[in-house]
Chains A and B, each alone.
Chain A
Amino acid sequence: MNKKILALLISLALLGSSCSEFLSVNEVNPNSASKVPAKLLLPATLNNVANTMNNPRSFEFVYLWHGLWSISSGYSQPSGLVQYRLLNSSYEGAFNISYVVGQNLTEIEKGTTDPKDAGYKAIAMIMKAYIMHNLVDLWGNVPYSEAFKTEEGILKPKYDDQKAIYEDLILKLDAAIKLIQGLPADATEIPASADIVFGGNMAKWARFANTVKLRMLVHQSGMAGRDAYIKTAIATTASVGYLGAGESALSNPGYLNSAGKMNPFYATFYKADGSSQSDGITYYNAGKAAVTFMTDNADPRLGKFFNPYSGNNFAGNTLGITEPAPLTAANTSKLGYVSGSKGYMIGTFDKSAPLLTDFESLFVQAEAAERGYITGSGKTLYNSALTQSCIYMGLTSADGTAFASSEKTNVNYDLAPNKINLILMQKWVSLNGIAPVEIWTDYRRSGIPNFLVFTQDPNKANATPPVRLLYPQREISVNNDNVVAVGTISAFTSKIFWQNR
């Protein structure tokens, strides 16, 4: 009997000794990694930013309000948009996703302490500045200094002053450029599979950083007494240069013709088998302001941005239109699309998604030159911008040159009475379907183009359109004290700091 009890005790002891192994099975996750190198985080992060910026539904309000698109008469006009009735939940997606992307960028920054990996770190810093300045442009004061700090136990980040965020981002861009300039000779090469924007070309990243910086500084051009700051800031990195013709920042992870793996803009409208998505191509029509402007200017890009509704006839609607009666769906242009052709607005499943196009860079440079911020000819930069836009839309360089020299005052640099007005009008129409946040920002800071109708709905909530988005519902629910600390927010009066009109 005693032997049996002994045997029992021994077996219990054996059980005990293997306990630690038995109980450690959940310390390694067999289904997903618990740590991932920058090389594998970066492509997902860049792709996520590109998806957010290029999902037309995320920023449809910009296209619809600014006369670029309209809603087909076959659908009811969304009351929130046509009457400016923004909710906290309206278009909050970009806010939430940007911070999730920011956390991944933070992980890249933290994981690249080796000076050889500074290239990754620089890209992460640049992209953070890119998403953060977009957040400021859309929401003003946002969490910044306390964001991405869960490790310090911060679950309710405070909101920082928007101007201070902008100024800090400028410094971060400077620092990133410096990191790139100081890369050691044996720096880790960033493969094209990781850098799905510039294929590891760090010089282009530096110019991209400098272009984002210039864009941010030009945003502030309307602010009183800001010129000295702007000029000084530009001067520190002027030698780096900006994205030039053919240097667009385009993201392409290797889009495939498969659900969930296509260009996000295209995927909103078409499925992998080529059939149309519901409420996509049938929902959005051409905007009247854009069609009229381009028709008046005999713009060769008109048929690329929009499809003729018949023959060579183009027409667009205004949002919330009541008088005259809206055009029927059959008599309105659709967004530009020809199956398999990249040079139309909708493009193809494998068309690269723009983060910042060369022609936008050239428009920004043209404006900066015109304002005396940088050296160079405004006209040359502007004409190059038009040409690059034409090329982007599937036309030729010759088409661009011819268009730039046409005798229209809204096209020809020399004939235009107001160069800034010209640059921003052509920028507005050129960025259609490409850079929605910039279109809105340019309008808010400049009021150009001045002929935009926004909406015709007589029941709109305010005479003038909103100047910002409202803080996301999620923030109201779980970070309310910090939202309240920002003060009362009105979609119509709480302007972004750079807006001075």
Chain B
Amino acid sequence: MKKIALLLAFFAIGLQVLLAQTKEISGKVTSADDGGSIPGVSVSVKGTTLGAITDMDGIFKLKVPQDAKTLVFSFVGMATQEIAIGSQTVINVKLSSELISVDEVVVTAFGIKRKPKEMGVATAKVDNQELTTAGVSNVMNGLSGKVSGLQINTINNGIKPDTKITLRGNRHFLASNQALVVLDGVPVSATYLNSINPNDIDNVNVLKGASAAALYGNDASNGVLIISTKKGDKGKLTIKVSNITTFEQVSYLPNLQKRFGSGSSETTSNSDPNYTMWIGPDRNTDPYTSYENQNFGPEYNGQMVILGGKLVDGSYQMVPYTGMDNKRDFFEIGVSMQNDISISGADEKSNFYLSAQDVRTTGTILDDTNSRSSVRMAAGKKYGKFSADYTLSFSQTNTSQSGGDMNQNRPVYWNVLNTPAHVAIRSYKDIVNNPFATVDGYFNAYYPNPYWQIKHSRLNEKRNDILGSVLLAFKPYEWLEISNRSGVTFNTINNHNHKDEAIYNSYSHSDPWSQGHMGVTAPYAGNSSDQMSQSFILTNDLLAAFDKSFGDISLKGILGTSLYSRQDEAIFDAASALVIPGLYNVSNRVGEPGVAQGTAERNSLGVFADATIGYKNYAYLHFSGRNDWDSRLTKENRSFFYPAVDASVILSDMFPGLISNPVLSFLKVRGGWSQTGQIALDNWYGTLPSYPAAGGFPYGGNAGFALSTTLSNPLLKPEQTVEVEAGFEMSFMKNRIHLEANAYKSNTMDQTIPATISAATGYFSALINAGELENKGIEVDLKITPILSVGGFNWNGGINYAYMTSKVLSIMEGLDEIPIERSSYIVVGEQFPAIKVTDVKRDPDGHIIVDKNSGLPSTEPALQHVGHGNPNHILGVNTDFNYKGLRLSVLAEYRGGNVINNRVGNALDFTGISEHSALNGRQSFIIPGSVIETSPGVYTPNTTALVREASRQFWVNSSYHTTDRGLVTSAAFWKLREVALTYDVPVKAIFGGDVIKNAQVGLVGRNLLMLRPKANVWTDPEFNASGTTTNAVGYTTEDQTPPTRTFGFSVKLTF
């Protein structure tokens, strides 16, 4: 009894303690402007995650600890207020509107911070939360779809996806169109973004047009991404730990047929008694060919057939002649594990941030791996008028991918596509012990086992990146600051690629199946190559900044100098025939080694001035001017001036009457003009004549050199981009709705073109300045916060849309077209790049003209212009739902207006596995909509001329196959880019909050869905076979594996 009493007492005390620990506070939040209640205001206890949201009447109720001191009231578009609790239990608050809080700044060139309202040109900011919502390991992927006018193209799949990043489209024909990336004030190459831990990024400021970026001088014409990394936040030591684990799965394969098996006119010899050679009952298909890669054989019927041929020991394999989904089976589920830890802290005088990350990824192709380990430290300290900040980061990325095969150097995917559907591809994984998986035993006579290739042909890359920067500032007066930032980036990339020797046994070498087995031309010598390259970039910016007000006039000015110096080195060696297997060293070879070496340096200096004049905090005029001297051009042409001007007026402040109505709460108009230049010389010594070693030389003791076939041009100038833009920003309903729109037009002149010239000049091409490209566009951003707010439920949404178009105004006299690469062309009067493809002959209405006897089309000699490669419309839609720590965010993106040449379809038709190649059951057919030319210029619908060779002959040899028009489709797509469901675990309630301050768990997904026009049965139209360095787009091949979707979970803990 006593014990029970004690226990009760204990409970009572405990209860009392618990009761004593919390109290309820309630109140109402109203607008200081009009007195109306404000729903959706976030009310939180300072320094905790405890909080509530006001209801539709602006009322909140919140249980707070007894010792809670301060409540924080915040709402988008309103000034945040902190109220001391004291002994109050009812707290009514009036919030006054403010477009953006005082702390909010736009970081522009050289880390210059400007208030958004001063900006006369379009900028956008993506913060860390937006960037990392879907657990990306790559910064670029996290930006896609989030900013109007920003286009991130993931041009291939794989463990190290290549991305291309452009702002407001392509301004240059052949020079790079990639946006300039500036990390903590240091310009870095766009590829460096693959090396950055996205969790280290505090925010990304996007300067869309050249105007905002003009101060960066050369390279700024493509817009700039300014990335700021995290610094310690004031308060206690914070430790964050997170894990993100995602799985990658092939999502969309091309539409394939599983109805017809292998055959390609050859007959199967070396047959076994069990096997009878047969052809399809209709005799339209080719006979079954046991070793064939092409699929023009008989229809699948389930009977047992020999696959491949007899091995040297007489063994052979029999398989059911039944189609399977073997192409999909081939691909693995990739796994990516991202582990992060960061420690940060700060006080009034100093701050520090330390982080480490490890990312390990396996790909959808077996054995493809990528790992990245990075560490980063940043710290700052103030001593009175001085302050010093530094950052230092290091990352190492190791990548291993499969290379080309030994025979034709084809990618793995090609060899998978050339595996007929009755071949259980995964059963040939064991290339050592399975006699039917070895080079000799594999069924396919013409293409090797992809698993052999995976094991024996590797592309390995190790990349090290070091980036460091030091910022020293001296602020002698409140109005003057002198600062100097030095940055160094250093990276090394080591590639070690090899392909092992493929030796066939003498039985295979003798071609026992007697159909030109690839073993006949064996041995395939092993080869290896190494490339080591390094790049060192030093930048130094010295700035003096003034900030002073004179009555109604405010004046901000900046004077500065900028220095850029870059040194690149590369060494390459290759052994084309290795001797000792498995030893990948250039000394292990016969014959001459391949060697190459290059070193290059370039320097530039700039001086600049920047001034912003403000009047009464509502009208601003901004000028900037920069002069560059760049070593890449000759003395006469190396100096170049970049002027820019922009202005903004906040009409709602200028005429307060405008916002006296309850709808409009903010209105700003703005406009800008700029002129920027870009030096487009891949070869930094391109103004000099050059005599490289002639082909084949040296031959032992004989050296020989020949003049370069490109005529050097000492008169080269930078390309010039003139851009004008205008826009407005409006907010409605107490800033709940924010709308921003811009229109721009840019003209890039004096484009650097390696123009093809008559060989009779003695040269094949000459670098010249000529041509003009015009870009126009509109960008619209709409944010609604909240769309709906009921109780604790909040729904926000936003839309960003960009319309872009371009027009080639001229190229050079007498020239109205230049090919770039593959299907991409520069064509006067058209958008850039124009896509031109081969086609079959058509009548004026576009119907295919066929021969009245054969039913076959013929090739049109002239290329057909079918559209352009860059999208005209990019639309991003994002929305998020929040309820008591549970948050669902969704981002979808649409692109359209452009076309794509799905050349992968050519590979599928060649091998006979495309779905459409089997639609007629390999029977004779009339080409739909075809016409016959009955007399010159007279066409009648074709109702009689059948394509009799409906099988291999048509899909492999006809003009339909050898031309590309049938593979061109709209490149439009909708993608569900990101879906993330996160939950903030109420750790305080569970654990008391002593150790774990925050905990978040989540489910994340990327690219879960893709919608394409029906005609595009091939692949992701975002892909591009031409790589990230050329401006050629709109072309896919079997070098890009099928698109994938990624999904997984995340756990984030804050201590």
Can you spell out 22 A-B residue pairs with CB atoms less than 8 angstroms apart? A15-B563, A22-B631, A23-B603, A31-B598, A32-B693, A32-B705, A33-B705, A40-B704, A43-B694, A43-B697, A47-B694, A100-B763, A143-B758, A149-B761, A156-B757, A157-B760, A253-B697, A272-B576, A478-B756, A479-B757, A479-B760, A482-B758
List A contacts of B9 (CB < 8 A): none
Interface residues, chain A, with chain B CB atoms under 8 Å away: 1, 4, 8, 12, 15, 19, 22-36, 40-45, 47-48, 51, 95-97, 99-100, 102-104, 106-107, 142-143, 146-150, 154-157, 193, 196, 253-261, 272-273, 275-276, 278, 472, 474-475, 477-482
Pair B695/A25 contact, Cβ less than 8 Å: no
Q: Contacts of B629 on A, CB cut-off 8 Å? A: 19, 23
B685 near A256: Cβ-Cβ < 8 Å: no
B601 near A157: Cβ-Cβ < 8 Å: no
B-side residues, CB < 8 A to A, are 474, 476, 482, 521-523, 525, 542, 561, 563, 565, 576-577, 590-592, 597-605, 629-632, 638, 684-685, 687-697, 699-709, 711, 755-764, 766, 814-815
Evaluate contact between A474 and B707: CB separation under 8 angstroms.
no
A102 CA / B692 CA spacing, docked (Å): 17
- Please measure, in the bound complex, the distance between the C-alpha atom of A29 and the C-alpha atom of B599, giving whole angstroms: 9
In this complex, what residue of A is CB-closest to B591? Answer: A258
Q: Measured between C-beta atoms, what is the minimum distance from A7 to chain B in Å?
A: 11
Chain A residues with CB under 8 A of B763: 100, 103, 150
- B702 near A106: Cβ-Cβ < 8 Å: no
Say yes or no: A99 contacts B761, CB within 8 Å. Answer: yes
Q: Which of A29, A43, A146, A479 contacts B703 (CB 8 A)?
A: A43
Task: Contact check, B695 vs A34: say whether CB atoms are below 8 A apart.
Answer: no
A273 to B577, CA, bound (A): 8
Q: Is the CB of A193 within 8 A of B761?
A: no
Q: Judge whether B762 and A25 touch: CB under 8 Å.
A: no
Task: Please name all residues of chain B whose beta carbon is closer than 8 Å to the beta carbon of A278 when the two chains form the complex.
Answer: 521
Which of these, B521, B603, B706, B709, contacts A25 with CB under 8 Å?
A: B603
Shortest distance from the beta carbon of B322 to any chain A beta carbon, whole Å: 33
Q: B759 touching A36 by the CB < 8 A rule?
A: no
CB distance from B1011 to the nearest CB of A (A): 41
Given A104-B706, A147-B760, A273-B523, does the pair A32, B700 have CB atoms closer than 8 Å? Answer: no
Q: Are B590 and A100 in contact (CB under 8 A)?
A: no
Measured CA separation A148–B707 after assembly (Å): 12
- With the chains together, A278 CA to B520 CA distance in Å? 11
B705 touches A41 (CB 8 A): yes
Would you call B761 and A157 a contact (CB within 8 A)? yes
CB distance from A22 to the nearest CB of B (A): 5
Whether A34 contacts B761 by the Cβ 8 Å rule is no
Cα distance, A479 to B760, chains bound together (Å):
9
Taking the closest CB of chain A, its distance from the CB of B631, in whole angstroms, is 5
The residue from A34, A260, A475 contacting B689, defined by CB atoms under 8 A apart? A34
A147 to B685, CA, bound (A): 26
CB-based contact B700/A23 at 8 Å = no
Q: Which residues of the partner chain B approach A102 to less than 8 Å between Cβ atoms?
A: 762
Contact yes or no, A260 B695, CB < 8 A: yes
Residues of B within 8 A of A253 (CB): 696-697, 699, 702, 704
Most chain A CB atoms below 10 A, which of B565, B631, B697, B704: B704
Q: Which of A27, A34, A155 lies in contact with B757, CB distance below 8 A?
A: A155
A148-B761, A156-B758 in contact; A48/B701 too (CB < 8 A)? no
Best-buried of A15, A256, A478, A479 by chain B (most CB within 10 Å): A478
Which residues of chain B come closer than 8 Å to A258, judged between CB atoms? Answer: 576, 591-592
Residues of B within 8 A of A142 (CB): 760
Contact at A255–B599, with CB atoms within 8 Å? no
Q: Given A147-B762, A259-B591, A479-B758, A35 and B691 touching (CB < 8 A)? A: yes
Across the interface, name the chain A residue whose C-beta is closest to B576.
A259
B759 touches A99 (CB 8 A): yes
Q: Which residues of B contact A259 (CB under 8 A)?
A: 576, 591-592
Residue ID in chain A nearest B603 by CB atoms: A22
CB pair A272 B694 closer than 8 Å: no
The reply to whether A256 and B699 contact each other, CB–CB distance below 8 Å, is: yes
B602 & A33 in contact (Cβ 8 Å cutoff): no
> Which residue on B lies nearest to A20, using beta carbons?
B635
Q: Cβ of B592 and Cβ of A261 under 8 Å apart?
A: yes
Give the residues in chain A near B565, CB-CB below 8 Å. Answer: 22
Interchain CA distance A27-B631 in the complex, whole Å: 8
Could you tell me if A43 and B761 are in contact, using CB atoms closer than 8 angstroms?
no
B702 — which chain A residues lie within 8 A by C-beta?
Answer: 43, 193, 196, 253-254
Complex CA–CA separation, A96 to B760 (angstroms): 7
With both beta carbons as reference points, the residue of chain B lying nearest to A482 in the complex is identified as B758
Q: Is the CB of B697 within 8 A of A47?
A: yes
Min CB distance B280 to A, Å, is 25
Task: Decide: A254 near B699, CB < 8 A? Known: A95-B759, A100-B762, A157-B760.
Answer: yes
CA distance A12 to B542 in the complex (A): 10
Contacts of B700 in A (CB 8 A): 254, 256
Among residues of A, the one whose C-beta sits closest to the C-beta of B704 is: A44
B31 CB to closest chain A CB (Å) equals 48
Q: Which of B690, B701, B707 has the most CB of A within 10 A?
A: B707
**A100 vs chain B, min Cβ distance (A):** 6
B600 proximity list for chain A (CB < 8 A): 30-31
A35 and B689 within 8 A (CB): yes
Least distance between A135 CB and chain B CB atoms (Å):
9
**Known interface pairs A26-B631, A29-B685, A147-B760; A44-B706 also in contact (CB < 8 Å):** yes
Most buried by A among B563, B695, B758: B758
Given A155-B766, A472-B759, 5 more A-B residue pairs with CB atoms under 8 Å apart are A23-B630, A31-B690, A47-B697, A99-B761, A481-B814
Closest to B544 in A: A8
B330 to chain A, nearest CB (A): 27
- Minimum CB–CB distance from A433 to chain B (whole Å) comes to 21
Q: Give A124 Cβ to nearest chain B Cβ, in Å.
A: 13
